[in-house]
């Protein structure tokens, strides 16, 4: 019978095997936790990359808006509409919106059927009808 070396005899003792098993469990736990943390970090990275893409797009949109709002035309238009400012020689007239009422046009015979057609027509057609229609000239006189 062969004699075993002292190292092998030490490894085969139950207490040594239990200690090796416990060390193996700790190392396995550490490895699994590292893998889990790596997946979590990978998920965060992908979320942050999508956020970066969205914010970059928003940044470009805001640059466009800034460029438009810094133009002199925009500043002048806003000063006229919101602040009521004017250029030299101009007069500002402010009409409250609640005082404006739509004009309903009636036919000479009191029939209201053409008024809705007239109201739905385009402005160039209205002007043409006003200036060149024989029916309108007779009703005006």
Question: What's the pLDDT score for residue 74?
Answer: 87
C-alpha distances (whole Å) from 31 to each of 34, 38, 44, 57 are: 5, 11, 20, 39
Let me know if residue 68 belongs to a domain. yes
Let me know if residue 140 belongs to a domain. no
pLDDT value at 137 more than 50: no
Let me know if residue 125 belongs to a domain. no
Let me know if residue 45 belongs to a domain. yes
Let me know if residue 25 belongs to a domain. yes
Residue 56: pLDDT band by 50, 70, 90 thresholds?
very high
Let me know if residue 105 belongs to a domain. no
Per-residue b or e along 64-79, where b marks 16 or more CB atoms closer than 10 Å to that residue's CB: eeeeeeeeeeeeeeee
Token pair 């029916």 is at which residue?
135
Question: What's the pLDDT score for residue 55?
Answer: 96
Let me know if residue 119 belongs to a domain. no
Question: What is the per-residue pLDDT across 58-103, written as a single tens digit (0 to 9) for each?
Answer: 999 999 999 988 888 888 888 877 877 888 888 767 677 776 666 6
Whole domain around residue 37: which residue ranges? 1-100
Give the residue-averaged pLDDT of 113-131: 76
Let me know if residue 56 belongs to a domain. yes
Helix, strand, coil percentages (3-state) for the chain, rounded to 5, are 70, 0, 30
- Count of domains for the chain: 1
pTM for the complete prediction?
Answer: 0.40
Residue 29 vs residue 84, higher pLDDT? 29
Question: What's the pLDDT score for residue 89?
Answer: 84
Provide the terminal-to-terminal Cα distance of the chain, rounded to the nearest Å. Answer: 140
């Amino acid at each position: 019978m062969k004699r075993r070396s002292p190292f092998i005899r030490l490894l085969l003792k139950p207490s040594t095997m239990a200690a090796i098993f416990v060390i193996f469990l700790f190392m396995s736990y550490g490895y699994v936790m590292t893998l889990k943390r790596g997946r979590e970090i990978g998920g965060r990275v992908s979320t942050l990359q999508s956020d970066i893409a969205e914010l970059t797009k928003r940044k470009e949109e805001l640059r466009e808006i800034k460029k438009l709002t810094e133009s002199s035309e925009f500043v002048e238009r806003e000063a006229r509409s919101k602040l009521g400012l004017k250029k030299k020689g101009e007069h500002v007239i402010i009409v409250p919106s609640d005082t404006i009422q739509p004009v309903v046009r009636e036919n000479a015979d009191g029939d209201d059927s053409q008024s809705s057609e007239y109201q739905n027509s385009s402005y160039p057609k209205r002007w043409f009808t006003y200036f060149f229609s024989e029916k309108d000239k007779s009703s005006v006189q």
